[in-house]
């Protein structure tokens, strides 16, 4: 699978390292605004020895059409910024190149643009593209579904310098329909990132906890997305969409059992 990477900040580089190290992907290019590393080899720059020829380009030196003509890809992975999509979006959609964007926040206008692009190509948008956090959110929704009146608190821990409340914590709070006052924010030293969802029952607690070790976790989330996104069914997808089929296993198992047990529920 041929990949192009938009953005090459700290997270972009970590994701590039993972893409170079995966046998399933071939990193064709990195495109960024800055000209600082222009035409250097991605492989050499990141210190990951491969035979992949991908170079680092800057948006000023060519249009997306020129880029995709010269170096065609199957999927564009976007860790740049909100306006990255303006550079490559239409050109990718026209060619049916899949778009996987991890930009944490888009304006309503840009989200509308994403939906338009999704009519022509496969688009995945996930503000926190780690497997762990996305699994946590779905699992937490299920537990809340089982016991709607359970007390829920969210504790998020990050490095001292992070000023605002974690965006991921807000997504979790939104998904569980609890107010932002349920989020407890801890800031200390160099903590990379911890999110814990605490369910308090009268006589027991359940804690679902995610800890980031390094930014490369985003790269593995990308690999999962590349594997699980449809190839040719245009639409706007979320990580939820890609993970839900895995929750199906149990239903399949049930099919067999149900014949023997005369199940009492209809929906399943």
| Contact residues for 77 (Cβ-Cβ < 8 A; gap 6+) | 3, 4, 5, 6, 15, 19, 100, 101, 102, 222
Residue 263 structure tokens: 């199940």
SS3 94: helix
Contacting residue, 215, 222, 225, 226, with a copy of itself by CB under 8 A: 215
Q: Are 129 and 102 in contact (CB under 8 A)?
A: yes
- 235: left (phi > 0), else alpha (psi -120 to 50), else beta? left
Minimum CB distance to a copy of itself smaller for 42 or for 64 = 42
> x/- site string to a copy of itself, residues 238 to 257, per CB under 8 A?
--xx-xxxxxxxxxx-x---
Write out the catalytic residue numbers. 158, 162
Pick out residues in 128-167 that bind a copy of itself (CB under 8 A): 130-132, 135-136, 138-139, 141-143, 145-147, 150-153, 155, 157, 159-160
Pick out residues in 104-133 that bind a copy of itself (CB under 8 A): 130-132
CA angle 44, 48, 53 (to 5 degrees): 55
Q: Please identify which residue in the block is written with the tokens 């594997």.
A: 227
Q: Does 10 bind a copy of itself (CB under 8 A)?
A: no
Smallest distance, a copy of itself to C-beta of residue 241, A: 8
Q: Please identify which residue in the block is written with the tokens 């890809």.
A: 73
Q: Does 98 bind a copy of itself (CB under 8 A)?
A: no
Q: Does 185 bind a copy of itself (CB under 8 A)?
A: yes
Contacting residue, 47, 60, 109, 261, with a copy of itself by CB under 8 A: 261
Q: Does 199 bind a copy of itself (CB under 8 A)?
A: yes
């Amino acid at each position: 699978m041929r990949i192009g990477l938009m953005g090459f900040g700290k997270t972009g580089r970590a994701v590039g390292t993972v893409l170079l190290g995966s046998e399933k992907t071939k990193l064709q290019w990195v495109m960024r605004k800055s000209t600082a590393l222009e035409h250097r080899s991605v492989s050499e720059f990141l210190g990951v020895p491969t035979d992949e020829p991908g170079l680092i380009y800057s948006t000023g030196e060519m249009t997306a059409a020129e880029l995709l003509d010269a170096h065609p890809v199957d999927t564009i992975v976007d860790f740049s910024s909100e306006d990255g999509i303006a550079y490559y979006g239409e050109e990718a959609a026209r060619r049916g190149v899949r778009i996987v964007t991890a930009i944490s926040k888009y304006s309503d206008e840009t989200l509308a643009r994403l939906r338009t692009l999704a009519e022509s190509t496969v688009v995945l948008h996930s503000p926190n593209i780690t497997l762990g956090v996305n699994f946590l959110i779905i699992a937490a929704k299920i537990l809340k579904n089982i016991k709607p009146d359970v007390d829920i608190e969210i504790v998020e821990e990050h490095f001292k310098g992070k000023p605002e409340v974690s965006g991921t914590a807000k997504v979790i709070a939104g998904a569980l329909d609890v107010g932002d006052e349920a989020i407890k924010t801890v800031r200390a030293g160099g903590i990379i990132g911890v999110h814990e969802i605490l369910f308090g029952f009268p006589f027991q607690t359940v804690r679902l906890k995610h800890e980031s070790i390094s930014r490369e976790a985003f790269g593995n989330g990308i690999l999962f997305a590349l594997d699980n996104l449809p190839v040719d069914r245009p639409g706007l997808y979320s990580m939820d969409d890609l993970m839900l089929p895995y929750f199906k296993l149990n239903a399949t198992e049930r099919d067999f059992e149900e014949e023997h047990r005369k199940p009492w529920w209809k929906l399943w």
